[in-house]
Amino acid sequence: MDSIIRSYDAVIFDLLTALLDSWTLWRTVAGSAESGMAWRREYLVLTYDAGPYRPYEDIIHEAAQASDIAPETADALIARWPELRAWPEAGGVLRALHEQGVALGIATNSSDALADHAVASAAADFEANPFAAIATAEAAGYYKPRPEPYRLALDMLGTDPARTLFVAGSAADVPGATGLGMPVYWHNRIGLLKTGTATPLCVERSLTPLLSLFS
């Protein structure tokens, strides 16, 4: 087990699902869990099928229209992006990794502007931003699970994929990150169904067990 524990130089996180509880904000703005989930599903389909990057905020609006969500509700979601909050244990996990000298990165499908708000929420417990790399779909030119956002984060960190643990939030991040040679810790908080045939290193409902891979 020691060889596995010491094999990771860095951790790259999915932002909106692995580190942040974006589900609650979507449900709250949509007005119900059912509407929020339907809207989120449409949004995921559109990002996965987008091809070259097109504005993230447009995709939120298009997903709302496809889900019978009013345009002003989509505007409200975007306006309330700074209200995103990290999962309860996220701050402690990030701090423990940071104090051990593990390089931290993010690969997110957010636009640059919305990623700024989301990263601020994820790093709320820190005086200075702990993330050495923040790769957005906008900067990469494509949405995950295409390889470009993951590759951009790896390039920014300067780490080898096999020595970089990816913490997935959505199911599609598992084959996406695995395809580039990164081992994947799937933080499957709400019990999403698996996508594809790639097998994660482990599947957990919390970020806390992640620390056992570095202790």
CATH code assigned at 109? 3.40.50.1000
Residue 90, burial from CB neighbour count under 10 angstroms (0-12, 13-18, 19+): buried
Pair 74, 114 in one domain: no
Q: What pLDDT score does 215 carry?
A: 72
15 and 26 share a domain? no
| Low-confidence residues of the chain: pLDDT under 50 | 1-5
Query: Is residue 15 domain-shared with residue 40, that is, in the same domain?
Result: no
Which three-class secondary structure state does DSSP give residue 143? Answer: coil
Domain that holds residue 16: 2-21+84-213
Identify each DSSP E strand in the chain by its residue range. 10-14, 103-108, 133-136, 164-168, 184-187, 202-204
| pLDDT-above-90 percentage for the chain | 93
Q: Say which residue the tokens 């990816």 belong to.
A: 166
Rounded Cα gap, residues 35 and 73, in angstroms: 11
Number of domains in the chain: 2
| 138 close to 56: Cβ distance less than 8 angstroms | yes
- In this structure, the answer to whether residues 65 and 116 fall within a common structural domain is no
Mark whether 111 and 167 lie in a shared domain.
Answer: yes
What's residue 3's pLDDT? 42
Q: What is the pTM of this model?
A: 0.95
pLDDT of residue 89: 98
Q: Are residues 102 and 202 in the same domain?
A: yes
Supply the CATH number for residue 40's domain. 1.10.150
